[in-house]
Structure 1
Amino acid sequence: MTERHNAFFTDIAEATRLTQAGRLGEATALIQRSLGGANLSAEGARPTDASPAPHGTPRLEGPATRLDPEVDAAQATLIPERLRENIDHVMQGLRSLVPSLNGLTGGGQQAPGPNGTEPDGVASEGGQFVERSFSNAAGARDYKLFIPSPRSGPRPLLVMLHGCSQSPEDFAAGTRMNTLAEEEGVYVAYPRQTSRANAQKCWNWFEPGDQGREMGEAGIVAGLVRAICAEHSIDRSRIYIAGLSAGGAAAANIARAYPDLFAGLGVHSGLAAGCARDLSSALSAMRVGAPGAAEPGGAAGFGAGAVTQKLRVPTIVFHGEGDGTVHPRNADAVLAQAGIEALTPRQEGGINGRHSYTRTRYADDAGRIQVEAWSVQGAGHAWCGGSSAGSYTDPNGPDASRAMLDFFLSHSLTGGQG
């Protein structure tokens, strides 16, 4: 087979993968180029993220250019009519050939791992891990969605926000959340932060415009959740959000802004909602701990012990006592926002791997656990009990993914704790 033929079939395989992921505009552009037609304008192309920064580089960056919503339909106007008819014909054929071409594309549902293999823990037998895109008035983001094997009745949904320099694929592999989600029949959405939105792909948790309801990244994630609910059979009383580091801080912002949408919050190595209003206050909170939280965009709430607005969502917190990136005092600020002063603590300890830990559960007057805190001795800035297949993980210590999922599934918006 000639080199030209090899290239053509490679392009067809990639177009198949893009088609499966719902990215028809990109698939169309690829086929158009492969057929030798006129080039599309580069403005319609989706930007490629920069490679993740080395672990030793600073993770917090200031505001960057926002990602504009992408509209596949706009690309179609750039393709001559006759060529577009040919492309449409090829695309119809691709859709019918998807099952037989899966072997060429690795299933077309997830990014390949090292040496062309899939990251360990990204996909589970019986489930699917697919690429999706979302846009609304607040902005646009791609995301990966884990769809569990079919179950009867509406299913829970968990949103997972990755840390700086990470990706949905990396975060899924490191937390192994998809494996647990398949066991429990839970959908998991992994929104993708881009280098266009933040140079290090951090969620902009320290920006007032991304902290409030229907604002910036908080509004994008909430809209993304609503879109998933409209497309899939989701139990809207059992929607949860969790994140690591910058993703944990963003999750706290979003849960505080949408207590009517989320039935549970998980913050791993993160910070309290609204604890920073700019880069300077963010760096200070990361270095010495955030004393409290302010209203989005406000200047108050940064005095010692000030917590001006409570989290009204059941909350679970994980933090390593040896975390040198986000000070462990930030876990105390999240717990203060969760209202532990009005709850009764029940403390226990244990050893898992090389790490000992203290687990404190906080119950209300009816005995229902509303807040849970895990303090892990010897752990640093990493997801506890995670897999080495992903970045920022510590295979030793208690399994944060299992603990979070168990905590979440015991709560719902309508029934309290189950």
Structure 2
Amino acid sequence: MAVIAGIAPLRAPPALERRFGNLAGSRVYRLYVPSVYDGRPVPLVVMLHGSSQTPRDFAIGTRMDTLAEEQGFLVAYPDQPRSANIARSWNWFRPGDQRRDRGEPSILAGMTRQIMQDFAIDPARIYVSGLSSGGAAAAIMALAYPDLYAAVGIHSGLAGGSAKGVSSALSAMRRGALIRPIRATRPLPTILFHGDRDRTVSPVNGDQAIAQARPAGDLQTSVSAGHAPSGMAYTKTVLTAPPGDQGTEQWLLHGAGHAWAGGSEVGSYTDPKGPDASREMLRFFLSHAKDDGPRRH
């Protein structure tokens, strides 16, 4: 970065390291607060890393801090330690970690509420997203806390409730869930990315996650094809409810594997050739806000 006329370049503020705990356990989380934050209510994005990743690695790979600094929102990166899962994977496949006010979902929701208490967060614009096991955990959070989050992003993940143990989890990752994932009673607007060459989590899981989040009623379907600036082809399918509310957005990335599309090559599990999943998720998120009715926290 160049220095012009003797003025040092602006540097983003360092992230905070905080901890939240309840009866289900505790987790450290990395919280990025942009330099433009002035105490007025802003959106919050909760980012759930994939297996073997750390919050810092995930932040670098997705470049979400850069977008937060650019557009003025907070980003939280919960850490899944090896003490909770030897692979640092979120335990999306355990029944005790798939329900509201139980296990890991209760910790992540409590963490979200703690940030809401300590910072000026717009309660209508809180979002959750994740990669791989983090994507599966994000799908669970959407099912368990539709009153807390306004939209969800799933990258290379699975539908909530796709497995009930390690064996069925491995099977679901290879071939899709053998048990039918439950339909969301209050589906959240969902944006999903999945590579059609993903050998870790089969692309059929993306179809199942979208089916789980599908709004009720007659929907208008729009399918378009495109290319990222680097040349990766994709197919985007958008489902819209008759009033014009965009319910889901599914990006099938052609030739892509198990990696965050458009991410930084410095991070792990990223594919810089893909479309910018972080920027597209943020666009989708900020186009959805909860109504002004009562909310349960």
The 2-side partners of 1:199 and 1:311 are apart by 33
Greater relative CO, 1 or 2 (CA 8 Å, sep 6+)? 2
More strand by share: 2
2:96 to 205, 209, 231: 209
The reply to whether residue 281 of structure 1 matches residue 168 of structure 2 is yes
Give identity over the alignment, percent: 53
Question: How far apart are 1:369 and its partner, in Å?
Answer: 1.1
Residue type of the partner of 2:27?
Answer: R
Residue type of the partner of 1:388?
Answer: E
The 1-side partners of 2:128 and 2:275 are apart by 20
Question: How far apart are 1:126 and its partner, in Å?
Answer: 3.8
Structure of greater Rg:
1
The reply to whether residue 349 of structure 1 matches residue 225 of structure 2 is yes
The reply to whether residue 250 of structure 1 matches residue 137 of structure 2 is yes
The reply to whether residue 359 of structure 1 matches residue 239 of structure 2 is no
The answer to whether the Cα contact below 8 Å between 1:310 and 1:339 also exists between their aligned partners in 2 is no
The answer to whether the Cα contact below 8 Å between 2:215 and 2:241 also exists between their aligned partners in 1 is no
The answer to whether the Cα contact below 8 Å between 1:162 and 1:168 also exists between their aligned partners in 2 is yes
Gap change, CA 1:182 and 1:312, over 3 Å in 2: same
The 2-side partners of 1:155 and 1:244 are apart by 24
- Summarize deviations over 1:302-338 as a string: whole Å, max 9, x none: 15xx644445211000000000000000000011011
- Summarize deviations over 1:319-360 as a string: whole Å, max 9, x none: 000000000000000110111574211111111124100111
The answer to whether the Cα contact below 8 Å between 1:310 and 1:337 also exists between their aligned partners in 2 is no
In structure 1, the residue matched to 2:31 is 145
Question: How far apart are 1:226 and its partner, in Å?
Answer: 0.4
After the TM superposition, which residues 219-258 of structure 1 pair with which residues of structure 2 at under 5 Å, given as runs?
Answer: 219-258=106-145
The answer to whether the Cα contact below 8 Å between 1:272 and 1:334 also exists between their aligned partners in 2 is yes
The 2-side partners of 1:386 and 1:191 are apart by 19
User: What SS does structure 2 have at the residue aligned with 1:345?
Assistant: strand
In structure 2, the residue matched to 1:414 is 291
Residue type of the partner of 2:24?
Answer: A
The answer to whether the Cα contact below 8 Å between 2:159 and 2:206 also exists between their aligned partners in 1 is yes
In structure 1, the residue matched to 2:6 is none
The reply to whether residue 263 of structure 1 matches residue 139 of structure 2 is no
In structure 1, the residue matched to 2:190 is 315
User: What SS does structure 2 have at the residue aligned with 1:331?
Assistant: helix
The answer to whether the Cα contact below 8 Å between 1:344 and 1:364 also exists between their aligned partners in 2 is yes
The 1-side partners of 2:53 and 2:186 are apart by 27
The reply to whether residue 330 of structure 1 matches residue 208 of structure 2 is no
The answer to whether the Cα contact below 8 Å between 1:161 and 1:190 also exists between their aligned partners in 2 is yes
Gap change, CA 1:223 and 1:161, over 3 Å in 2: same
1:370 to 238, 247, 253: 247
The answer to whether the Cα contact below 8 Å between 1:127 and 1:182 also exists between their aligned partners in 2 is no
User: What SS does structure 1 have at the residue aligned with 2:90?
Assistant: coil
- Summarize deviations over 1:168-220 as a string: whole Å, max 9, x none: 00000000000011111110000000000000100000001111111110000
User: What SS does structure 1 have at the residue aligned with 2:248?
Assistant: strand
Question: How far apart are 1:139 and its partner, in Å?
Answer: 1.0
The 2-side partners of 1:381 and 1:347 are apart by 23
Normalised to the residue count of structure 1, the TM-score between the two structures is 0.65
User: What SS does structure 2 have at the residue aligned with 1:388?
Assistant: coil
The 2-side partners of 1:340 and 1:260 are apart by 16
Name stretches of at least 5 consecutive residues in structure 2 with no aligned partner. 1-9
Question: How far apart are 1:411 and its partner, in Å?
Answer: 0.6
User: What SS does structure 1 have at the residue aligned with 2:15?
Assistant: strand
More helix by share: 1
Q: What number of residue pairs does the alignment pair up?
A: 281
Name stretches of at least 5 consecutive residues in structure 1 with no aligned partner. 1-123, 292-301
Gap change, CA 1:351 and 1:245, over 3 Å in 2: same
User: What SS does structure 1 have at the residue aligned with 2:265?
Assistant: coil
Question: How far apart are 1:415 and its partner, in Å?
Answer: 6.1
The 2-side partners of 1:309 and 1:394 are apart by 31
Normalised to the residue count of structure 2, the TM-score between the two structures is 0.91
After the TM superposition, which residues 160-171 of structure 1 pair with which residues of structure 2 at under 5 Å, given as runs?
Answer: 160-171=47-58
Question: How far apart are 1:383 and its partner, in Å?
Answer: 0.2
Residue type of the partner of 2:56?
Answer: E
